[in-house]
């Protein structure tokens, strides 16, 4: 699926993952130009590489992935998915974020 947003807005992104581990770390990726882990989720918490993300899924082991991206920039555009590693993030599902805004 796809979600559209404007530069400066906030957006909620969600999808259903095929599997979520009961132990270990599960990653949420933004795979635009490179596979970048933006959120790491364990059975009891979520940590973020930037303060612009908020993870909403509860319990943490839920296959219903839901999070917010605040203050959208053009760099946030791309494909969002999850898995144990970057290769798993290309396995299907997930969401494409299209960011509209003025070119510099």
Which tens digits make up the pLDDT trace of 3-60? 999 999 999 999 998 888 777 888 999 987 778 899 999 989 999 988 999 999 999 9
| Residue whose structure tokens are 């795979």 | 31
Contact residues for 87 (Cβ-Cβ < 8 A; gap 6+): none
Query: The pTM is what?
Result: 0.88
pLDDT for the residue numbered 21: 78
Query: Which structure tokens are listed for 61?
Result: 């082991």
- Residue 103's contacts (CB-CB under 8 Å, 6 or more residues apart) are none
Is a pLDDT exceeding 90 seen at residue 93? no
Residue in the structure block whose two tokens are 């973020």? 48
CA-to-CA distance for 16 and 77, rounded, in angstroms?
A: 20
């Amino acid at each position: 699926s796809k979600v559209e947003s404007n530069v400066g807005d906030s957006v909620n992104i969600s999808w259903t993952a095929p599997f979520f581990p009961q132990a270990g770390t599960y990653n949420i990726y933004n795979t635009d130009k490179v596979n970048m882990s933006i959120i790491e989720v364990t059975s009891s918490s979520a940590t973020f590489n930037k303060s612009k993300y908020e993870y909403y899924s509860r319990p943490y082991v839920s296959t219903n992935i839901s999070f917010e991206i605040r203050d959208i920039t053009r760099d946030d555009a791309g494909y969002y998915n999850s898995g144990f590693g970057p290769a798993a993030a290309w396995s299907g599902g997930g969401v494409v974020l299209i960011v509209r805004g003025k070119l510099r």
